[in-house]
């Protein structure tokens, strides 16, 4: 079985500050890991994915995440927050091989001017 835990249902940062959204995973097989973003009243958009290649993954909109097996973590970061980053972010895990994706509970990011 696979699962992800997102620490912090709400995170607030000032515009221009570092964004750090935490995700820890549990998996019995080498995982595929994802970060998705959901803007208000919109669908899910893939930010980035880890599929056992480079441990530092760069995504869209300046986001990146680092896979740390020793810490079972896949935290999402962005050096400088923009107002447009305000959204809900979901960490997700899959065993790959066309199998289902399991989502975390989500973290709502608020960016303060």
Partner 1 sequence: SAVISQKPSRDICQRGTSLTIQCQVDSQVTMMFWYRQQPGQSLTLIATANQGSEATYESGFVIDKFPISRPNLTFSTLTVSNMSPEDSSIYLCSVVRQDYGYTFGSGTRLTVV
* Residues of this chain that bind partner 1 (CB under 8 A): 32, 34, 36, 41-44, 46, 49, 51, 90, 92, 94, 98, 100-106
Nearest Cα to Cα of residue 3 among 21, 37, 29: 29
For residues 22 and 69, give the distance between their C-alpha atoms in angstroms, rounded to a whole number: 14
For residue 85, the minimal CB distance to partner 1 (Å) is: 19
φ, ψ (nearest 5 deg) of residue 106? 90, 150
Q: Distance from first CA to last CA of the chain, Å, rounded?
A: 41
For the bound state, the minimum distance from the C-beta of residue 99 to partner 1, rounded and expressed in Å, comes to: 8
In 10 A of CB 43, how many CB atoms? Answer: 7
CB of 46 to partner 1, least distance (A): 7
| Structure token digits, residue 75 | 């935290």
Which residue lies nearer to partner 1 by CB, 28 or 98?
98
Q: Based on CB atoms, which residue is closest to partner 1, 73 or 94? A: 94
* Cβ closest to partner 1, residue 17 vs residue 106: 106
């Amino acid at each position: 079985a696979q699962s992800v835990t997102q620490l912090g249902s709400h995170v607030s940062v000032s515009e221009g500050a570092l964004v750090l959204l935490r995700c820890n995973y549990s998996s019995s097989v080498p995982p595929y890991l994802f970060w998705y973003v959901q803007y208000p009243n919109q669908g899910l958009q893939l930010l980035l994915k880890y599929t056992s290649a480079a441990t530092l993954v760069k995504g869209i909109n300046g986001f990146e995440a680092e896979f740390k097996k020793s810490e079972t973590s896949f935290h999402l970061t962005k050096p400088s927050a923009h107002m447009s980053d305000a959204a809900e972010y979901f960490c997700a895990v899959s065993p790959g091989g066309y199998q289902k994706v399991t989502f975390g509970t989500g973290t709502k990011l608020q960016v303060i001017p």
